[in-house]
Chains A and B, each alone.
Chain A
Amino acid sequence: SAVISQKPSRDICQRGTSLTIQCQVDSQVTMMFWYRQQPGQSLTLIATANQGSEATYESGFVIDKFPISRPNLTFSTLTVSNMSPEDSSIYLCSVGGTGFSGNTIYFGEGSWLTVV
């Protein structure tokens, strides 16, 4: 299994500001993903973080709003830009790939953002 650390775990942010969430894994992983879970909703994939290249975004999500970095195989960041109250969500990092059994994916504890 993988140990995934996310920072910050919680934050209250002012409207119009940006916040960067970090995801650190204790081993090298092929795939890293960022999900959003809005209040009372299920998880929605934002993007796949690609090591050494631009992230692959899902429909409805754009790089200007959610820039992602992945400088190596154990670390990624997600920035939520120009935040509005609608961005209040849990943001979850997940990993999968070589070394993990049977395509299992693992999740971090999440970063709980409240935009006021």
Chain B
Amino acid sequence: KQEVTQIPAALSVPEGENLVLNCSFTDSAIYNLQWFRQDPGKGLTSLLLIQSSQREQTSGRLNASLDKSSGRSTLYIAASQPGDSATYLCAVQEKTYKYIFGTGTRLKVLA
């Protein structure tokens, strides 16, 4: 049974810092991995999707990497801003459009 774990569970950093969020999964037979952002009281917003054949994806200040063989993904946020404060979730796709979600990392960027 696939399990997705995210470390750390919570993180508080001063504005401007570069930071790394970690995601690990137990079964490497995935179709893709997706990183989401969830703001308090809101739904989920997709940030980056990495296909199983890809190693990384970039969007603005965000970079996500995928090492399928070791069951790991990282989300790198450069030059963090208070607006980045949110919960970040990673999810792996096992079967057609079925996603298993991680436990989330609650990020707070201090001004």
Listed in ascending order, the chain A residues whose CB lies under 8 Å from chain B are 4, 30-31, 33, 42-45, 48, 92, 94, 96-97, 102-110, 112
16 A-B pairs, CB-CB below 8 angstroms? A33-B98, A42-B102, A43-B44, A43-B99, A45-B99, A48-B98, A96-B97, A97-B97, A102-B32, A103-B49, A103-B97, A104-B46, A105-B99, A107-B43, A107-B45, A112-B41
B109 to chain A, nearest CB (A): 21
Main secondary structure of the interface of B (DSSP, over half): strand
Q: Assess the B49–A42 pair: CB atoms within 8 A.
A: no
Listed in ascending order, the chain B residues whose CB lies under 8 Å from chain A are 31-32, 34, 36, 41-46, 49, 51, 89, 91, 93, 96-104
B91 to chain A, nearest CB (A): 8
Residue of B nearest to A56 (CB): B98
